[in-house]
Amino acid sequence: MKRTRNVKIVATLGPASSSYEMIRNLHEAGADVFRLNMSHGSHDEIRERHAIIRQIEEDTGGSICILADLQGPKLRVGVFAGDSEMLEDGAKFRMDLDKAPGDSSRVNLPHPEIFAALEPGSTLLVNDGKIRMTVDDCGPDFADCTVTAGGQISNRKGVNVPDVVLPLAALSDKDRKDLEFVCELGVDWLALSFVQRADDVLEAADLANGRAAILSKIEKPAAVKNFDEILAVSDGIMVARGDLGVELPVQNVPPIQKRLVRKCRSAAKPVIVATQMLESMIESPMPTRAEVSDVATAIYEGADAVMLSAESAAGDYPIEAVTTMDNVATEVEQDPTYAQIMTASRDAPGTTIADAIVSAAREIAEKTDIKAICCFSQSGTTALLVARERPMVPILAMTPLKSTARRLTLTWGTNCVITEMMDRFKSAVVASARAARAQEYAGPTDQIVVTAGVPFNVPGSTNILRVAPCDERLIYSTDPE
């Protein structure tokens, strides 16, 4: 489905968006990528939604990307004898391994790995940070704390430990089973939760074994600290601002978001900005002005995609939420300031031949009357490099692999076209001209830029560029040379 914007929209599926009709309506309203949240829903439900997406893809004739989001290890307190307790500021409170129901003085925390990592002075956050505690004393099976921000604590509320690196694997036993299930099902991206270090990503990549690309969720202070190493081994990044805003002071999140988006763009790796983007639209058909500004800010920063969570999964107005995001993106990208920001934030070209080729393609396209940049890419590398340039003309990612087209659908500005396997550059030029004409990016008197790597089908070999006409002589050419 041809879009008139470059930034992509990720919509999470759930109870409010599980039928063929609703998912197709979301796609037609603007959703490019569908997120399957493995924290909710059985394997049978996930399988059914996956099948519906693939059926819609076949019915509409495009490429739809599917992102499976693994739950990650969930740290939670146990239960209370009265289901909940009110903790006052300054109160003493113990967390321990005792499985007995809790009271106003203590509760079970069934995670010995947390106690192993704690030190006096460490912070514990409960219920999304609404309750804060400082550790006074701790051992292998307990932590004695002082409540610094009180509130109601109840059964199985989540616990965050912001200032220590926990000796936890990013993949729980459930995650490993879910990973194998969705990889066999045929998803395009795997979002990895609770990432703290590069080794977490490498473990998931090893298990996926090329069946899906790995997207690391940055939601822990340790992940921010180790971001360069995590980015180097990840295929993409999600800035998961919800947990970041719990574990870090909220005022730290906007500059972190800006830095991470810039680093991802420089590395030519897609980045999603996520969490609470249109939160009020869970219950309201209209967003707040602040939410619209938040979405717009992520787009002005150059993010590849913006994401809806509960708004599309469980909200009352899923289609309206996607439509709002689509409208905001379209308006922002038509603003002359947007092009100026993309240009000003562009890094100097790298030193490889591929860097020089895609930089030249963008410059030629913007300084002359070029209608599109067509890049041939089997692995997706060339298309990612072109997208990094944020050109102000459409990008046609030409690939013989459906899997590559689906993964690239997450990437800024890419319009994916499935083509035959190529072995000559002339054939690639002809195919590009035909695709540009067929999808109405160019007319018979227009020109396009074509980039590719010769010899073909060698990942990362981008080394050739041609400005080509889209006239009938080329379109109907049968000359293989």
Question: Residues 210, 213, 216, CA angle at the centre, nearest 5°?
Answer: 130
Can you read off the two tokens belonging to residue 311? 């708004």
Could you tell me which of 83, 118, 127, 82 has the C-alpha nearest to residue 97? Answer: 118
Q: Is 79 exposed, middle or buried (0-12, 13-18, 19+ CB in 10 A)?
A: middle
Q: Is 121 exposed, middle or buried (0-12, 13-18, 19+ CB in 10 A)?
A: exposed
Q: Is 247 exposed, middle or buried (0-12, 13-18, 19+ CB in 10 A)?
A: buried
Q: Is 88 exposed, middle or buried (0-12, 13-18, 19+ CB in 10 A)?
A: exposed
- Among candidate residues 3, 54, 76, 176, the one labeled active-site is 76
Amino acid at 98: D
Neighbours of 404 (CB within 10 A): 22
Decide the pairing of beta strands 151-154 and 84-87: antiparallel
The DSSP H or E segment spanning 425 is: helix 425-438
If you search the block for the tokens 């704690």, which residue do you land on? 118
Residue 217 among the catalytic residues: yes
Residue 76 among the catalytic residues: yes
- Among candidate residues 12, 123, 275, 324, the one labeled active-site is 275
- Among candidate residues 5, 35, 132, 220, the one labeled active-site is 35
Residue 35 among the catalytic residues: yes
Report d(CA 68, CA 215) in Å as an integer. Answer: 10
Report d(CA 228, CA 326) in Å as an integer. Answer: 31
Establish whether the linkage from the previous residue to 221 is cis, with ω within 30° of 0: no
**Contact call for residues 125 and 175 (beta carbons, < 8 A):** no
Question: Residues 46, 49, 54, CA angle at the centre, nearest 5°?
Answer: 125
Give the distance between the most distant pair of CA atoms in the chain.
Answer: 83
Can you read off the two tokens belonging to residue 183? 């990889």
DSSP state of 302: T
Catalytic residues: 35, 76, 217, 275
